Amino acid sequence: MTSAPGGRQLFVYYRVALPDLGACVQAVRGLQAGLQRTHPDLQCALLQRPESEDADGQRTLMECYARPGGIDAVLQAHIAHAATAALALLVLGPRHVEIFEPCA
Protein backbone atom coordinates (compact mmCIF):
# COMPACT_ATOMS: atom_id res chain seq x y z
CA MET A 1 0.00 0.00 0.00
CA THR A 2 1.52 3.24 -1.11
CA SER A 3 -0.25 5.78 1.09
CA ALA A 4 -2.50 5.72 4.10
CA PRO A 5 -6.04 6.50 2.95
CA GLY A 6 -8.63 7.64 5.47
CA GLY A 7 -11.10 5.31 7.12
CA ARG A 8 -11.08 1.71 8.25
CA GLN A 9 -8.24 -0.56 7.15
CA LEU A 10 -8.14 -4.36 7.46
CA PHE A 11 -5.22 -6.46 8.61
CA VAL A 12 -5.75 -10.22 8.34
CA TYR A 13 -3.15 -12.64 9.66
CA TYR A 14 -2.88 -16.43 9.77
CA ARG A 15 -0.38 -19.28 9.75
CA VAL A 16 0.69 -21.40 6.78
CA ALA A 17 2.74 -24.60 6.74
CA LEU A 18 6.14 -23.91 5.16
CA PRO A 19 5.61 -26.51 2.38
CA ASP A 20 2.43 -24.62 1.38
CA LEU A 21 3.96 -21.13 1.60
CA GLY A 22 4.62 -20.65 -2.12
CA ALA A 23 1.17 -21.86 -3.12
CA CYS A 24 -0.45 -19.65 -0.48
CA VAL A 25 1.45 -16.55 -1.60
CA GLN A 26 0.37 -17.21 -5.20
CA ALA A 27 -3.24 -17.74 -4.10
CA VAL A 28 -3.28 -14.50 -2.08
CA ARG A 29 -1.78 -12.54 -4.96
CA GLY A 30 -4.47 -13.93 -7.25
CA LEU A 31 -7.14 -13.16 -4.65
CA GLN A 32 -5.93 -9.58 -4.25
CA ALA A 33 -5.67 -9.05 -8.02
CA GLY A 34 -9.27 -10.24 -8.40
CA LEU A 35 -10.44 -7.94 -5.62
CA GLN A 36 -8.67 -5.01 -7.27
CA ARG A 37 -10.37 -5.74 -10.60
CA THR A 38 -13.74 -5.46 -8.84
CA HIS A 39 -12.66 -2.56 -6.60
CA PRO A 40 -10.03 -0.55 -8.55
CA ASP A 41 -9.36 1.83 -5.65
CA LEU A 42 -8.55 -1.02 -3.23
CA GLN A 43 -4.95 -1.07 -2.02
CA CYS A 44 -3.63 -4.51 -1.09
CA ALA A 45 -0.43 -5.82 0.44
CA LEU A 46 0.87 -9.18 1.60
CA LEU A 47 3.44 -9.35 4.39
CA GLN A 48 5.18 -12.16 6.24
CA ARG A 49 6.95 -12.46 9.55
CA PRO A 50 10.72 -12.89 9.23
CA GLU A 51 11.97 -16.45 8.67
CA SER A 52 13.74 -16.27 12.03
CA GLU A 53 10.31 -16.25 13.72
CA ASP A 54 9.03 -19.43 12.00
CA ALA A 55 7.55 -21.76 14.59
CA ASP A 56 6.80 -25.45 14.21
CA GLY A 57 7.35 -25.38 10.45
CA GLN A 58 4.86 -22.54 9.97
CA ARG A 59 5.01 -18.93 8.78
CA THR A 60 2.66 -16.07 9.64
CA LEU A 61 1.28 -14.06 6.71
CA MET A 62 -0.70 -10.84 6.86
CA GLU A 63 -2.96 -9.37 4.20
CA CYS A 64 -3.56 -5.60 4.36
CA TYR A 65 -6.48 -3.79 2.73
CA ALA A 66 -7.22 -0.06 2.48
CA ARG A 67 -9.02 2.32 0.18
CA PRO A 68 -9.98 5.99 0.14
CA GLY A 69 -12.90 6.45 2.51
CA GLY A 70 -12.16 3.16 4.25
CA ILE A 71 -13.30 -0.44 4.06
CA ASP A 72 -17.03 -0.73 4.71
CA ALA A 73 -18.84 -3.82 6.00
CA VAL A 74 -19.92 -4.90 2.50
CA LEU A 75 -16.37 -4.86 1.14
CA GLN A 76 -15.05 -6.55 4.29
CA ALA A 77 -17.56 -9.38 3.78
CA HIS A 78 -16.59 -9.64 0.09
CA ILE A 79 -12.89 -9.92 1.04
CA ALA A 80 -13.66 -12.58 3.67
CA HIS A 81 -15.80 -14.61 1.26
CA ALA A 82 -13.23 -14.48 -1.54
CA ALA A 83 -10.41 -15.42 0.84
CA THR A 84 -12.32 -18.38 2.25
CA ALA A 85 -12.80 -19.75 -1.25
CA ALA A 86 -9.20 -19.10 -2.36
CA LEU A 87 -7.30 -20.16 0.76
CA ALA A 88 -9.42 -22.81 2.49
CA LEU A 89 -6.92 -25.64 1.95
CA LEU A 90 -3.78 -23.58 2.62
CA VAL A 91 -4.39 -21.74 5.90
CA LEU A 92 -3.77 -23.41 9.25
CA GLY A 93 -6.41 -22.40 11.76
CA PRO A 94 -8.53 -19.26 11.64
CA ARG A 95 -7.86 -16.02 9.78
CA HIS A 96 -7.63 -13.26 12.39
CA VAL A 97 -9.11 -9.93 11.26
CA GLU A 98 -8.00 -6.68 12.86
CA ILE A 99 -9.62 -3.35 11.96
CA PHE A 100 -7.78 -0.07 12.46
CA GLU A 101 -8.84 3.51 11.86
CA PRO A 102 -6.72 6.66 11.57
CA CYS A 103 -6.11 8.61 14.77
CA ALA A 104 -8.04 11.85 15.04
Taking only the tens place, the pLDDT of each residue in 46-91 is: 999 998 878 799 999 999 999 999 999 999 999 999 999 999 999 9
Q: pLDDT value at position 86?
A: 93
CA 71, 72, 77, 78 torsion-angle sign: negative
Domain ranges of the chain: 9-100
Residue 2: pLDDT over 50: no
Q: Domain 9-100 falls in which CATH fold?
A: Alpha-Beta Plaits (3.30.70)
Q: What angle do CA 18, 24, 29 make, to 5 degrees?
A: 140
Q: pLDDT value at position 29?
A: 98
Q: CA-to-CA distance for 66 and 1, rounded, in angstroms?
A: 8
* pTM assigned to the model: 0.90
Of 93, 91, 74, nearest to 35 by C-alpha is: 74
Q: CA-to-CA distance for 45 and 29, rounded, in angstroms?
A: 9
Confidence of residue 5 (pLDDT cuts 50, 70, 90): low
